[in-house]
Amino acid sequence: MNTIGQAIVNGIMIGGIYAMVGMSLNLIFGVMKIVNFCQGEILMISMYMSYVLNEKVGLDPFLSIPLVAIMMFCVGALLQMFLITRSMREEDDSNVLFLTCCLSIFFANLALLIFKSDYRTAKSVFENKVVHLGTMNISSPKLLSFVILMVVTALIFLMLKYTTLGKQIRAASQNPRGAEVTGIKAKSIYAITYGLGAAIAGIAGSCLMSFYYVFPTVGNIYGTRSFIVVTLGGLGSVLGAFFGGIVLGLLETLGAVVVGSSFKDALVFFIFILILIGKAEFNQKKQRG
């Protein structure tokens, strides 16, 4: 019983990070309808930013969150303005797909070039501190990350619902041309959205840096998982990404208990495939009848 309880707690905690990366992807996916295969690498860049700030300035990963988020916003907005908008086409999204694929290769190897392939860690004040919850143990960086996730989710949710920018983003997502007619510049909204997505990934990266290590291909692990989160939670839904992330985290840790840790990844992918196909079949049936 205790192992399962611990697995559930661990699953929720790791799910928090998945949720945050998924949310960053979902904002981009939902608004621009583009597949962004370099979101994992965006996370990797922010992890390295947090690492450098920790190594050179001595900033705690949690304290570097605002700085990393602002820098990632700029990175994301520039990326969107100069590359992705140019290859976006209404009828065919395959070009963006390939572009982001190549960007992910580019970023991963740039990191390899600059930082070598070593695994690097950052030092945090919260490291090695454990919170006891009944018989369960939770490491405090993970708990703090989870709290930050909840705050971020709430902020993004409120922002999209009540602010002018949020309304503009939703308008551009529902009908880009209609939004243009009402005076919203869809292209700048796209740049802001991508920037926001990258900034959320920046927050996730800084949190992750407090208890995980960074290496050039770390984006692979989180990139594919963020797609699973988005599919689980539904396109464009912030709360969906939140719960999708936690469900994925639980699936992974509980799967590890059930089928053994070596097959848990395969299990996660098979479940993902089943959900994806199941959802599509369901939608088709709904359309017909």
Partner 1 sequence: MKLNKKLLMLVALLLIIVLLPIFITVPYIISIFITTFLTISCSLAWNILGGMTGQISLGHAAFMALGAYITTMLLNYFNISPWLSIIIVFFIVGSLGAVILSPCFVLHGAYFSLVTIAFGEAFRNLFLNWELAGKGQGLLLTYGKPSFALMRFGSKAPYFYISLVMMAGYYLVIKRIDHSKLGYGLKTIREDEDTAKAVGINPLKYKMIATFISSGMIAVCGVFYACYVRYVNPDIMMTSKSVEYVLPAIIGGLGSVAGPLIGGAILVPLSEYLNASLSSIANGFNLVVYSAIIIAVIVLQPSGITGWYRHSKLKTRINTYFSKGKTNNAK
Contact in structure between 61 and 212 (CB atoms under 8 Å):
no
- Site size for partner 1 (CB under 8 A): 42
Contact segment (CB under 8 A) with partner 1 among 64-72, 134-142, 200-208, 277-285 equals: 277-285
The type of residue at 151 is V
276 belongs to the binding site for partner 1 (CB under 8 A): yes
Closest distance to partner 1 from the beta carbon of 102 (Å)? 5
Nearer to partner 1, 133 or 280 (CB): 280
CA distances from 286 to 70, 193, 280, 282, 283 (A): 42, 31, 10, 6, 5
Token output for 149: 């996730």
258 belongs to the binding site for partner 1 (CB under 8 A): no
Task: Considering only residues 177 through 216, tell me which ones interact with partner 1, judged by CB under 8 A.
Answer: 216
- Provide the greatest CA pair distance for the chain: 61
Task: Considering only residues 221 through 250, tell me which ones interact with partner 1, judged by CB under 8 A.
Answer: 224, 227-228, 231
Name the residue among 254, 24, 60 with its Cα closest to residue 144. 60
Binding mask 71-110 for partner 1 (x = CB under 8 A): ------------x--xx-x---xxx-xxx-xxx-xx--xx
Nearer to partner 1, 117 or 182 (CB): 117
Q: Tell me which DSSP letter residue 214 carries.
A: B
Binding mask 112-141 for partner 1 (x = CB under 8 A): xx--xx------------------------
Nearer to partner 1, 101 or 159 (CB): 101
Give dist(CA 204, CA 148) in Å, integer.
Answer: 9
With a CB cutoff of 8 Å and minimum separation 6, the contacts of 238 are: 23, 26, 27, 153, 156, 157, 160
Nearer to partner 1, 67 or 110 (CB): 110
287 belongs to the binding site for partner 1 (CB under 8 A): no
CA distances from 2 to 135, 136, 213, 248, 258 (A): 7, 8, 28, 20, 14
Binding site for partner 1 (CB under 8 A): 35, 83, 86-87, 89, 93-95, 97-99, 101-103, 105-106, 109-113, 116-117, 216, 220, 224, 227-228, 231, 262-263, 265-266, 269-270, 272-273, 276-277, 280-281, 284
